Chain A
Amino acid sequence: MAKGIEISTSESKFILEALKQKQRLDGRTFDQFRDVDIKLGEAFGDVTVTMGKTKVHCRVSCEIAQPYEDRPFEGLFHITTETTPMAGAQFENGNNTGEEEVLISRMIEKSVRRSGALDVEGLCIVAGSKCWSLRADVHFLDCDGGLIDASCIAVMTALLHFRKPDVTVLGEKITVHPVDEREPVPLGVLHVPVCVTFSYFNPDDTEENIKGEQNSEIAIIDATLKEELLRDGVLTVTLNKNREVVQVSKAGGLPMDALSLIDCCHKAYGIVERITDQIHRTVKEDIASRNQYAHILSSENSRQN
């Protein structure tokens, strides 16, 4: 990616040299994930995730549609991830065929949609004719690396936070109850996948990497933009709290030792566990704070009547 970002040889040498001495520019350790900040908006399903300078916004919305003919019992669920120059001038407007862009959207697709994180059968209203069509729109606001990790967290938090309006079905007739009339219902989230991206650096030459006796490759978690531009290989693992691997993707890049890959998955699990808890906690606190106000509001209203 990033046509137009020029990195000088001094800079790349320095960053690699620092890595050899177990130092990163921002002072993190190799296995340290950036602190994740999750902000929920006023509407349900409105989430902003900030990791360092990286900022991703996700909005979930729904409408009633007709299910696909071959899947009459399932609702529709789409995720759009479109990069714009807002995130950084290296992204072209409306060009979602770039390598980086395709990789991000495929990874989110694989981690969230195809892993069945959302219960699409729960979106069905009348089999074969009416269902909810759910959209998750991911907006990349600022890019400082780790877009995949941040957007996965954003999508999952948004899905957990989102409420769809309640419906009642009477024969062919469907009534959608407005939100102020009847409490909206949460979505069925079956598990919470979280992506963790590892970036690999080769401190020696290629020959050492292929024929060498010891594995001296350096793996760091959650690279920043600079580190992403200089890395030789990348591995994204998605796990959930049930100790399951949802997907592993290592599309080419630096050849890696199989054992170190397993080691990476173990390291990722600790992070996934922490982030999953954080997501649940944030959503819970938000819902609790909403209910607290609802209680005050309704009791005041009843007194006036």
Chain B
Amino acid sequence: MSQLLLPGDLIKGNETSDEEISAGPGVYCDPVTQELVATHAGIEVVTETKKGHAVYVNYNSRRYIPAVGDLVVGVITGSFGDSYRVSLSNFSNPVSLSFMAFPNASKKNRPTLKVGDLCYARVCSAYKELEAEIECMDSTKGQDAGFGLLDGGMIVETTLAYARELLFNESYPLLNILGKLVEFEVAIGVNGIVWIKTDEVKTTLACYRAILACQDIPPNQFDKTIKQIFNDTLKSSD
């Protein structure tokens, strides 16, 4: 049974023990009283960690706020000096992608992304008061890790909770069902952008519609709905 939290609700940690609690998204630590307060309405999630436990609120929204380590899909909107300006969601502050944050990058070896290109990247710095930064490589190993230009395909704008579910929940059936019907490439950004590409326009279109439709229905109906959408889409112009 999960607990619904509303903004302002106190989160009761394990007060008796002096275990450390890490506060995640949707949880605010009052600087004066040191109390944990929920800032968003959603489901409370408590997970065990090495040091103690972590608590966060699983809430749905559409506006993305960058956090370090997030995998995101962005659109290049400009290039300035030695970095690209990237938009992660419409009407939000742009983030920057340095020319050096690519695999094998050097002063001479510049990346070749153009304005309007889509790229898959990881947020590497996200301070509240500063412009967030993203990178197109795994900075721990300094090598290519599937990041970079997303060529062709189509993007689907989804809510953030749905995108997280698609990316992190391995038992979420959507991608498996799609995989049985068609071969595809997919990149999921937790900023609510899902990029999908198949060999043909029609199958991509069917995937696009399937992903959008499944946002509003429970997972046990996915199978039926997706098959229906594929049938309709592939038949439509014959």
Chain A positions near chain B (C-beta within 8 angstroms): 4-14, 17-18, 21-23, 25, 27, 89-90
Q: How far is the CA of A5 from the CA of B92 in the complex (A)?
A: 10
Cα–Cα distance between A22 and B236 once the two chains are bound (Å): 9
Most chain-B CB neighbours within 10 Å: which of A5, A9, A21, A89?
Answer: A9
- Nearest A residue to B204 via CB reads A14
Say how far A10's CB is from chain B's closest CB, in angstroms. Answer: 5
Please determine whether B87 and A27 come into contact, CB atoms closer than 8 angstroms.
no
In the complex, how many angstroms separate the beta carbon of A85 from the nearest chain B beta carbon? 9
Cα distance A18–B154 when bound, in Å? 11
Contact between B152 and A13 (Cβ–Cβ < 8 Å)?
yes
* Chain B contact residues, CB within 8 Å of chain A: 75, 77, 87, 90-91, 114, 116-118, 150-155, 195, 201-202, 204-205, 208-209, 232-233, 236-237
Contact of A10 with B87 at beta-carbon distance under 8 Å, contacts A23-B237, A27-B236 already known: no
A21–B238 Cα distance when bound, in Å, is: 10
Would you list 23 pairs from A and B whose C-beta atoms are within 8 A, ordered by A residue?
A5-B91, A7-B75, A7-B116, A8-B118, A9-B116, A10-B151, A10-B152, A10-B154, A10-B195, A11-B154, A11-B155, A13-B152, A14-B153, A14-B204, A22-B237, A23-B237, A25-B205, A25-B208, A25-B209, A27-B233, A89-B90, A89-B91, A90-B91
Shortest Cβ distance from residue B124 to the other chain A in the assembled complex, whole angstroms: 21
Q: List 10 A-B pairs, minimum CB-CB distance, nearest first.
A: A9-B116, A89-B91, A14-B154, A8-B75, A6-B87, A6-B75, A8-B118, A4-B91, A22-B237, A5-B90
CB proximity of B142 to chain A, nearest CB, Å: 28
A17 to B118, CA, bound (A): 18
Taking CB atoms, residues of chain B closer than 8 Å to A5 are 90-91
A10-B151, A25-B205, A25-B208 known; 18 other A-B pairs, CB under 8 Å?
A6-B77, A7-B75, A8-B155, A9-B114, A9-B116, A9-B117, A10-B153, A10-B154, A10-B195, A11-B154, A12-B116, A14-B201, A14-B204, A21-B237, A23-B236, A23-B237, A27-B209, A27-B236
Min C-beta distance of B126 to chain A, whole Å: 20
Are B202 and A21 touching (Cβ within 8 A)?
A: yes
Residue of B nearest to A9 (CB): B116
B152 touches A27 (CB 8 A): no
Residues of chain A contacted by B154 (CB below 8 angstroms): 10-11, 14
Task: Kindly provide the distance from the CB of B17 to the nearest chain A CB, expressed in whole angstroms.
Answer: 46
Residue in A closest to B237 when the chains form the complex, CB atoms: A22
Residue of chain A at shortest CB distance from B236: A23
Residues on B with C-beta less than 8 A from A17 are: 201
In the complex, what residues of A have CB within 8 A of residue B117's CB? 8-10
Inter-subunit contact B150/A21 (CB<8 Å): no
Shortest distance from the beta carbon of A98 to any chain B beta carbon, whole Å: 16
- By the criterion CB–CB under 8 Å, are A14 and B152 in contact? yes
- The answer to whether B90 touches A21, judged by C-beta atoms less than 8 angstroms apart, is no
| Shortest CB distance A92–B (Å) | 12
Task: Tell whether, in the assembled complex, residue A27 and residue B75 are in contact, meaning their CB atoms are under 8 Å apart.
Answer: no
Q: Could you tell me if B237 and A10 are in contact, using CB atoms closer than 8 angstroms?
A: no
Contacts of B152 in A (CB 8 A): 10, 13-14
Q: Which residues of B contact A23 (CB under 8 A)?
A: 201-202, 205, 233, 236-237
Are A27 and B232 in contact (CB-based, < 8 A)? yes
